Amino acid sequence: MNPTACAPAPFFGDNLTAALIGDLETRGWAFAPDALPADLVAELRAEARALAREGWMREGRVGRGERETRAADVRRAAIRWLDGSTPAQARFLDGCEALRVAINRTLYAGLFEFEAHYAVYPPGGFYARHLDAFAGPPNGAGAAAAAGRIGMRSRLVSLVAYLNEAWEAPDGGRLAVWEAAPLDAEGRPDLVRLDAVPPAAELDPRGGSLVLMLSERIPHEVRPAAAERAAIAGWWRVNASVGGVVDPPR
């Protein structure tokens, strides 16, 4: 049997993969314009628009599981989770699997699985400054687990893939990223204090561009969009097994 016969197909070559992983390791985030194949971006964009138009998306919320809640002052977008059921989704998820393998091989990150959703922001849509995860024990140990916060570290690396066509500066919707968050007296990220700190970068959401971020470390926000803005947001997770159950719901 050929061991490479079922290997995932990468989005791009080894040089760009290495550059992205290098930036992820050294500064906590990485950005590559025009990284994704144009035909794949077009297929995903058409699918996202059709899902939004036909009412198959739902309001994006904040939190997870029992803690999920509506927060229109924090996030205004519609989402639909990817399940790999279409050729475009399957191809995208295959490329993300190739990235997972490369990140694990280089950084020994222990990334376990990937989850992603379409995100369509209407004009005026935004996502306030946030972290995708908060540091804590991955396997339910320690004080955080005792307080009911099991598996807090399940999201380790975040991905954003942009699907927009002919995006121009007046369309807004840039992604602002900061390289770290100051901590409060209890050692928790204090994102409000970043009001006085300019972002490390503001990234244009042009179709085909790709962003990687350390989920626990990199604060980021979606600036208000003046035109419809489409993307895929995804996260690689570590295995937050508890009591012999692989990655239980939290």
Q: For residue range 169-208, list pLDDT tens digits in order.
A: 999 999 999 999 999 999 899 999 999 999 999 999 999 9
Can you give the pLDDT at residue 72? 61
Give the SS3 label for residue 15: helix
* Least confident segment among 194-203, 204-213, 236-245: 236-245
Q: For residues 147 and 130, what is the distance between their CA atoms, to the nearest angstrom?
A: 22
CA angle 79–82–87, rounded 5-degree value: 130
* Rg, Å, the chain Cα set: 18
Write out the two tokens for 45. Answer: 């964009």
Split at pLDDT 50, 70, 90, the class of 6 is: confident
Question: Is it the case that residue 250 has pLDDT exceeding 60?
Answer: no
Give the SS3 label for residue 114: strand
* Least confident segment among 11-15, 153-157, 224-228: 153-157
Number of domains in the chain: 1
Question: The domain that contains 77 carries what CATH number?
Answer: 2.60.120.620
Whether 91 is covered by a domain: the verdict is yes
Can you give the pLDDT at residue 151? 40
Q: For residues 192 and 27, what is the distance between their CA atoms, to the nearest angstrom?
A: 21
Split at pLDDT 50, 70, 90, the class of 150 is: very low
Whether 73 is covered by a domain: the verdict is yes
CB atoms within 10 A of CB 44: 25
Q: What is the pTM of this model?
A: 0.85
Can you give the pLDDT at residue 64? 56
Q: Per-residue pLDDT averaged across 127-132, rounded?
A: 94
DSSP string, 200-231: SEEE---TT-EEEEETTT--EEEPPBSS-EEE
Whether 36 is covered by a domain: the verdict is yes
Q: Per-residue pLDDT averaged across 205-221, rounded?
A: 97
Q: Per-residue pLDDT averaged across 50-79, rounded?
A: 73
Could you list the residue range(s) of the whole structural domain that residue 120 is in? 14-237
Question: Is it the case that residue 66 has pLDDT exceeding 90?
Answer: no
Whether 1 is covered by a domain: the verdict is no
Higher pLDDT, 74 or 57: 57
Q: Per-residue pLDDT averaged across 61-88, rounded?
A: 75
Closest CA relative to residue 214, chosen from 133, 151, 139: 133
Give the SS3 label for residue 67: helix
Whether 250 is covered by a domain: the verdict is no
Can you give the pLDDT at residue 2? 52
Whether 6 is covered by a domain: the verdict is no
Split at pLDDT 50, 70, 90, the class of 62 is: low
Question: Is it the case that residue 10 has pLDDT exceeding 90?
Answer: yes
Can you give the pLDDT at residue 76? 82
Whether 26 is covered by a domain: the verdict is yes
Whether 59 is covered by a domain: the verdict is yes
Quick one: 15 exposed, middle or buried, by C-beta within 10 A (0-12, 13-18, 19+)?
exposed
Contacts 24+ apart (CB under 8 A), 83-92: 86/47, 87/43, 88/40, 88/43, 88/44, 88/47, 89/44, 89/47, 91/9, 91/40, 92/40, 92/44, 92/116, 92/161, 92/232
